[in-house]
Amino acid sequence: MHTDGGIDGFDCQTCETTLAPEDVETTCPECGDPVTPVFDADALTDVVAAETDNATGIDRFAPALGFDPAAGLVSLGAGGKTVIDAPSLAAELGVDRVRIADEGRNPTGSAVDRELAVAVSVAAERDAEQIILPSTGNAARSAAAYAGRADLESLSYVPSRTPFVEKAMTNVHGGELSVVEGRYRDAAAAYDDADTDGFPVGPASPFRQLGAATLALDLFGQDGSSPDAIVLPVGHGTRLAGFFAGLQALEAGGRVGSVPQLYAAQPAGCAPIVTAYQNGGEVETWETPDSVIGPLEIPDPAVGSRALDALAASGGGAVAVTDDDALAAAVDANAATGVEVSATGGVALAGTSELAERGEIEPDGSVLVVDPLAVAAESDILRSQLMSRGI
Amino acid sequence: MHTDGGIDGFDCQTCETTLAPEDVETTCPECGDPVTPVFDADALTDVVAAETDNATGIDRFAPALGFDPAAGLVSLGAGGKTVIDAPSLAAELGVDRVRIADEGRNPTGSAVDRELAVAVSVAAERDAEQIILPSTGNAARSAAAYAGRADLESLSYVPSRTPFVEKAMTNVHGGELSVVEGRYRDAAAAYDDADTDGFPVGPASPFRQLGAATLALDLFGQDGSSPDAIVLPVGHGTRLAGFFAGLQALEAGGRVGSVPQLYAAQPAGCAPIVTAYQNGGEVETWETPDSVIGPLEIPDPAVGSRALDALAASGGGAVAVTDDDALAAAVDANAATGVEVSATGGVALAGTSELAERGEIEPDGSVLVVDPLAVAAESDILRSQLMSRGI
């Protein structure tokens, strides 16, 4: 990874400094706060505007991410633009146009494939033998897949509540799994206590943000037209922070007119970022996390402060919704649009409805809803929602 | 659907006639045998060679499939070219190059999305209110999704052994499900006995073959370079027959030099097409189907005769593998390549190994293996394979 053609480095806001890539492994080595990628907007613009030959998806962005184009990324073909119009939802949600970014169509079924592709590429470049991370499940599976591809070991700490398919596929990819009794915070604590010298690729990794930025490049790099608002389900804030960094660079390079308003949606049972946004304060640990939507039950977000910055800087906002509203929104969207919207994606859909009702998103606005997850791991809780309707 | 710009009609080999699209609903109305799409190779060539604007995946082939480009297909964004190189498998399988077409990355997790997109588009065009089909599970889920998108009803007959995720998602998409105790043949029998006037979109539908043909267009329409051999897991033969029709048209239009050798792989516990190929006879009903790989446990293939034609005409062949070899091949591929190879895809991988050992595929040959299914529905049987290794 170098700064010749795409990234300037990683920004620590607390220390007011930009770190060279080689000086970064995870958080700021000085203060321990999360750092965020800073793109060279002109170089990035050249890359996203270029005609592509064989490279597709995120692979074509390798130079903009600081990788040698010849060597490229450790690749499973992540990324691309999988956006589906959902006209049948617009009236119901109270806006003019709704589109869904179906990120579950990534190689291991989630948007984190973008992130792990980049983080594992850095690990491989630095001759790591093992990558390590805490995860609610989908990142563990993705890490195991990319580690397998790069001939590295992976060790993931997941809570016992992680869906079977995520645990099973982590093992099937040859990944090692430490299943910790309890919830995500228990798995994260076990990870923190672990004595290992593996290369960290957890949610605090700035390389994961760099990977998340490719969603912005895929969505808006070529056609430039952007919606009025984008609603993302948010756990750690990694995706939101990286996505915003990508959007800022596209704006600076003139590829998009302005950064759309970014909204974070969280389950009401664990909404530390939404609460901090509403109170105008810092992100504080959520004491009693309680949501059936496991990927979003994150009481202590790794990149919360940078996620808050993205919401404020884009003129967006934050919204919390009940599990029940999220599940109902997901089930209704599956039936009305055919798109396989996960429960996690349902949080963003229900959030959109709430934001439109509040008037934060205008009735004539166009909205892009990001669903980061394939539905398979959550098909049980969606089916249960039907049961509650007597079906 | 019309014959202005892409298809000439549907060929019944028994009656030696080409039927107009409007005269076809499922099998030949005269003799009841399966019919196969016949492309206008020149028109199809124009479509696949055209620069694309906004349409991606199979949507850009709509005119070549006989649909008005303005109206297009009922779309969830199926298709595209998701081929991953698997260099770490080549030596193990005994060939020079292996690539995997990861068709599980379609909207509802299987290659049948290509097929249902087309079949449901025809149903909608003909003002059907309901589509009906028997299915091992993944087509039921896909049918429900596309029916939801087109505002139609769907009714699927599936066996009780169908994986939970397929049943759950069929319901979540608003599809009606008749769960028949037993195996696929029991579900198919219940479907045959049902008194319904829904539009049939089961495996005998020639419109499903038309959709399957788009895999050939996506893989070889643009770049033209094709492997020496392509190995597909085969159940009903719908995908193989449609894929071959697409390849023939690409060859006739000069887009590929010659049709690659096509190989069918089936589980040894239910291999009616392989057995017919080896015996040089007709496809006969498999009396005691027995495979853990549900999507391929098809004792009475709907399009068996046309699948046999494709194998013979392409100079390919057929191979049966044990469940154990298929599961082991899938698990090994997941670990070595990171690609999420399903158990169904594992049948084709194990088949490739066997074909290379027999010398049917040359050691310096390049092979494309088609994995039609996302791994989620089969993660349990893959995980069980690890258990048998003590992991």
- DSSP letters, A260-312, are PEEEEEEETTS-HHHHHHHHTS-----SS---S-GGG--SS-TTHHHHHHHHH
Chain B residues touching residue A386 (CB < 8 angstroms): 171-172
- For B249-277, the pLDDT digits (tens) are 999 999 999 899 999 999 999 999 999 99
Q: DSSP secondary-structure letter at B37?
A: E
- The model's confidence at residue A227, banded by pLDDT at 50, 70 and 90, is very high
Confidence check: pLDDT of A4 > 70: no
Determine, for residues B374 and A376 on separate chains, whether the beta-carbon distance falls below 8 Å: yes
Q: How far is A22 from chain B (nearest CA, A)?
A: 27
Separation CA A123–CA A135 (nearest Å): 18
Beta carbons within 10 angstroms of residue B137's beta carbon: 27
d(CA A118, CA A72) in angstroms, rounded, equals 10
Contacts of A108 in chain B (CB under 8 A): 340
Residue positions counted in chain A: 391
Rounded alpha-carbon distances, angstroms, from residue A139 to A59, A120, A131, B100: 19, 12, 12, 23
Give A367's strand partners: A98, A229
What is the pLDDT at residue A48?
A: 86
What is the helix (H) or strand (E) element at residue A382, kind and residue range? helix A379-388
Which of B109, B149, B340 is closest, CB to CB, to A169? B340
- pLDDT mean over A142-160: 98
Helix (H) or strand (E) holding A229: strand A229-233
Q: Residue A388 and residue B18: Cα distance in Å, rounded?
A: 51
Extents of the domains making up chain A: 83-110+206-388
A109·B337 Cβ contact <8 A: no
Mean pLDDT in residue range B143-169? 98
Tell me, what's the pLDDT at B1? 76
Mean pLDDT over residues A350-359, rounded? 97
C-beta atoms of A338 and B76 within 8 A: yes
Report phi then psi at B286, rounded to 5.
Answer: -80, 120
DSSP alpha helix (H) spans, A60-205: 87-93, 112-125, 138-150, 164-172, 184-193
Q: What is the pLDDT, as a whole number, of residue A85?
A: 94
**Do residues B263 and B232 make contact, with C-beta atoms less than 8 angstroms apart?**
yes
Q: Which two tokens stand for residue B250?
A: 């690409």
Residue with tokens 């074509």: A60
Mean pLDDT over A12-18 rounds to 94
Answer whether residue A196 shows pLDDT above 90.
no
Q: In this model, does residue A123 exceed pLDDT 90? A: yes
Instruction: Determine the 3-state secondary structure of A49 from DSSP.
Output: helix
Question: What is the side-by-side strand order in the sheet with B153-159?
Answer: B176-180, B153-159, B130-134, B199-200
Chain A residues touching residue B174 (CB < 8 angstroms): 334-335
Match 């109305």 to its residue by tokens.
Answer: B29
pLDDT at B4 over 70: no
Span B307-316, mean pLDDT? 97
B197 or B264, which is more confident: B264
Q: In Å, how far is B211's CA from the nearest CA of chain A?
A: 18
What is the model's pLDDT at position B391? Answer: 83
Residues from chain B that touch A77, judged by Cβ atoms under 8 A, are 82-84, 102
CB contacts of A380 in chain B (<8 Å) are: 164, 168
Whether B338 contacts A149, CB under 8 Å: yes
Residue B211 has pLDDT above 80, yes or no: yes
Shortest CB distance from A82 goes to which of B77, B81, B149?
B77
CB B371 within 8 A of CB B363: no
Q: CATH fold of A83-110+206-388, please? A: Rossmann fold (3.40.50)
Instruction: Convert the pLDDT of each residue in B9-43 to its tens digit.
Output: 999 999 999 999 999 999 999 999 999 999 999 88
Provide the mean pLDDT of chain A.
95
Mutation target for B interface from A141, A172, A332: give the one with most B CBs within 10 A.
A172
The count of CB pairs under 8 A between chains A and B is 133
- pLDDT computed for residue B195 by the predictor: 84
Buried b (16+ CB within 10 A) or exposed e, B205-225: bbbbbbbbbbbbbbbbbeeee
Contacts of B171 in chain A (CB under 8 A): 383, 386, 391
A230: Cα separation from own chain's centroid: 13
Q: What pLDDT does B3 receive? A: 66
Instruction: Specify the CATH class of B83-110+207-388 in words.
Output: alpha beta
Calculate the alpha carbon distances from B261 to A182, B35, B223, B296 in Å.
52, 22, 18, 21
Residue A12 reports pLDDT greater than 80: yes
Q: Which amino acid is at A177?
A: L
Which of B145, B148, B338 is nearest residue A145 as measured by Cβ atoms? B338
Q: Is the pLDDT of residue B330 over 90?
A: yes
Mean pLDDT over A14-23 rounds to: 94
Contact A339 B81 (CB under 8 A): no
First to last CA, chain A: 53
Helix, strand, coil shares, percent, chain A, to 5: 45, 15, 40
User: Do residues A283 and A273 make contact, with C-beta atoms less than 8 angstroms apart?
Assistant: yes
- The structure tokens listed for B351 are 């088949």
Mean pLDDT of A62-81: 91
Instruction: Give me the mean pLDDT over the A38-65 stretch.
Output: 84
Work out the pLDDT band at A390, boundaries 50, 70, 90. confident
Chosen from A112, A218, A342, A379 to mutate, greatest number of chain B CBs within 10 A? A379
pLDDT at B224 over 90: no
Say if the Cβ atoms of B165 and A379 lie within 8 Å.
yes
Confidence tier at B6 by pLDDT (50, 70, 90): confident
Mean of pLDDT values over B52-56 = 66
Burial (CB count <10 Å: 0-12, 13-18, 19+), residue A177: buried
Decide: B233 and B370 in contact? Cβ < 8 Å.
Answer: yes
A107 contacts in B (CB within 8 Å)?
102, 105, 338-340
Compute CA distances A389 → A324, A346, B166, whole Å: 12, 17, 20
Select from A105, A164, A340 the Cβ nearest to the Cβ of B169.
Answer: A340
Answer yes or no: are the C-beta atoms of A141 and A106 closer than 8 Å.
no
Q: Test B379 with A168 for CB contact under 8 angstroms.
A: yes
ipTM: 0.96
Instruction: Tell me the mean pLDDT in the region B128-156.
Output: 98
* Ranges A56-65, B64-73, B274-283, most confident: B274-283
For the record, the structure tokens of B190 come out as: 């219940």
- What pLDDT does B52 receive? 66
Predicted local confidence at residue A54, as pLDDT: 61
pLDDT score of A222 more than 90: no
Which residue do the tokens 């049917």 mark? B360
Residue A110: closest CA among chain B residues belongs to which residue?
A: B105
